[in-house]
Structure 1
Amino acid sequence: MEQSGLTQLGDGVWAFLRPSGGWGEANTGLVVAPGAASLVVDTMWDVAWAKRVADVQWPLVVDAPITEAVNTHSDGDHWWGNDALPTATRITTSAAALEGMHEDLPPAALTVIATAGEMIGRIPGPIGAAGSYMARVRGDARFPRRTPRFPDHTFDETHRLTIGDRAVDLERLGPCHTAGDLVARVPDAGVVFTGDMLFIGTTPILWHGPLENWIAALDRLLAWEADVYVPGHGPLCGTTEILELREYWVWLRDAGRAQYDCGTGIRQAARELARSKEFDRWNNWSSPERIVLSLSTLFHQWHGNPPGPPTVLRRARAFADAGTLLRDGVF
């Protein structure tokens, strides 16, 4: 049976799982040193879900207060719930992730855009397609009205947090999905919280790149041979699922490049790849249309542009392509 909700992974280590792994349905983590202190990994962007997670964690931390938290990267579905943390909690992320948090759209702006998307999504053409897809991204989530607490502690490459008598090792593996992706490893429990380095059973998104960094990051995760990996989205996994994700990225890189070299446009390339026999092994992952979002990043870089976060215009065009492919019944 697929595990969901608060799930114990090892001695004093839990995850709160939302295994469907769709837009905004992120997993979070908790590491407890009984009688001493606790650490939280990521928070959810929906204010009700953030409170729900805090409430179910409370019995586990009543004698071990949450003194530390980690945000794995800059996407709002992994840190917009920071206000649900105790006010004395120190929040750590990578320096690159913190910069991305400050540069990204705040939750109030995204609420306005998604609400407008619900209205304009009814009209034909790319504007309507982009609007309907933005509404899909938010779903029924209720974002915070104000920008939540930013992390107040950063590092560059690696950092060790001490929680009571336990060590939690942080390592930045980005830029890949975003500029500052980091993972949190609990060596004494054999658990790695990977953030969005892992999408399991749900289609990943390359927002920043380069893709080769993501492939190298997966190799790093595999080398640890952890007992349990907690993905940013999807169910708990082991090395088999990581290898499957790695093979997806290698296929998309090579097949996408062949389309690019033929002069095919991004949306048409996604159509062709979705029709290919090779794609059959991954077409059961949720949100398969997100292939076009990653292709937009790859094509942008194959044009000679350096890796970087998507501009508002590039993201809007990618959402319009994804919405159009859904409307056309490609996925």
Structure 2
Amino acid sequence: MQRPLVAAAPVTEAVNTHSDGDHWWGNDTLPSAARITTSAASLDAMHEDLPPAALTALATTGALIGRVPGPVGAAAAYVARVRSDARFPRRTPRLPDRTFHTTHRLTVGDRTVELERLGPCHTAGDVVAHVTDAGVVFTGDLLFVASTPILWNGPLDNWLAALDRLIRWDAAVYVPGHGPTGTVDDLRALRDYWWWLRDAGRDHHARGSSVRQTARELARSNEFGRWSAWRSPERLVLSLSTLFDRWNGNPPGPPTVTRRARAFADAETLLREGIFPQ
């Protein structure tokens, strides 16, 4: 945190949009008096997710065994790849102080911030923050700009409905969870991506294709060209793992360790095959 930026306007309120560590593991950098708000579903998921020390161990191990042949080595290598040079906290950071279920209103100085839970989508408790008078929406990971999204929890229909709601707000600026600030056009581009992946993926699933083979064929299709330049295009296979799990008759929910590991192995394998640029 840049102290000169907040010297005259100290941080008194913070919002964790969801339970992914890259969106709340910085809570300890906030002033101790600042109040942190999230959805009840997100707080539950924060308690259930692996702590940062465990992920650090996985990433470190992945860097060592990533060359081991087979899915174990591939999954480990992808964990190390995703971490890159990021440094995780040594202990679990401070958890949010206050939760809500559907909507909540914050007053920050003379400004009102409307919070709304639109998940489960990307995760179980996705929250957006709408600063109406400023024409700004903080979307968390319900919007990725120039970056490939990941569907972990689902159902996808919830995410599509959330995008429709965000589009109707017609804000001047949408601050995404990943990528530069966006506009309504970026929301529409993401919605188009999900429509394409859902429909194309379902066709391959009906034909009995595997997740990896489906991702391989979709990445080589002409239709994928529209989104191929987005950052981390191999995440396509991670979202397909969730969609296939749902089409196999399983209820929406966070991925099991087995499914997540299999998806990571598929992503690393396709990267090594040169299916996606690195």
TM-score of the pair, normalised by structure 1: 0.82
Partner of 1:101: 46
State how 1:37-116 maps to structure 2 within 5 Å: 54=1, 56=2, 58-116=3-61
Q: Report the alpha carbon displacement of residue 85 of structure 1 after superposing the two structures with TM.
A: 0.3
Q: Report the alpha carbon displacement of residue 64 of structure 1 after superposing the two structures with TM.
A: 2.4
Q: Report the alpha carbon displacement of residue 98 of structure 1 after superposing the two structures with TM.
A: 0.4
Q: Say yes or no: does 1:200 pair with 2:145.
A: yes
Identity percentage of aligned residues: 72
Partner of 1:117: 62
Q: Report the alpha carbon displacement of residue 61 of structure 1 after superposing the two structures with TM.
A: 2.2
Partner of 1:38: none
Give SS of 1:207's match: coil
- AA paired with 1:247? D
- AA paired with 2:14? A
State how 1:1-331 maps to structure 2 within 5 Å: 54=1, 56=2, 58-331=3-276
Between the aligned partners of 2:35 and 2:164, the Cα distance in structure 1 is: 30
Give SS of 1:91's match: strand
Between the aligned partners of 1:306 and 1:193, the Cα distance in structure 2 is: 28
Give SS of 1:321's match: helix
Give SS of 1:288's match: coil
Give SS of 2:198's match: helix
CA RMSD for the aligned pairs?
Answer: 0.7
Partner of 1:5: none
Between the aligned partners of 1:255 and 1:63, the Cα distance in structure 2 is: 52
- AA paired with 2:194? W
Between the aligned partners of 2:50 and 2:259, the Cα distance in structure 1 is: 14
Between the aligned partners of 1:230 and 1:318, the Cα distance in structure 2 is: 28
In structure 2, runs of 5+ residues without a counterpart are: none
Give SS of 1:66's match: coil
- AA paired with 2:76? G
Between the aligned partners of 1:299 and 1:100, the Cα distance in structure 2 is: 22
- AA paired with 2:105? R
Give SS of 2:91's match: coil
Between the aligned partners of 1:306 and 1:201, the Cα distance in structure 2 is: 30
- AA paired with 1:144? P
Q: Specify which structure has the higher proportion of strand.
A: 1
Between the aligned partners of 1:131 and 1:285, the Cα distance in structure 2 is: 24
Give SS of 2:237's match: helix
- AA paired with 2:61? A
Q: Report the alpha carbon displacement of residue 164 of structure 1 after superposing the two structures with TM.
A: 1.4
Between the aligned partners of 1:100 and 1:327, the Cα distance in structure 2 is: 32
Q: How many residues align?
A: 276
- AA paired with 1:245? L
Between the aligned partners of 2:219 and 2:9, the Cα distance in structure 1 is: 49
TM-score of the pair, normalised by structure 2: 0.98
Between the aligned partners of 2:88 and 2:16, the Cα distance in structure 1 is: 17
Between the aligned partners of 1:77 and 1:288, the Cα distance in structure 2 is: 19
Runs of at least 4 residues off by over 3 Å: none
**Deviations for 1:264-292, whole angstroms, at most 9, x for unmatched residues?**
00000000111111111111111111000
Between the aligned partners of 1:241 and 1:70, the Cα distance in structure 2 is: 23
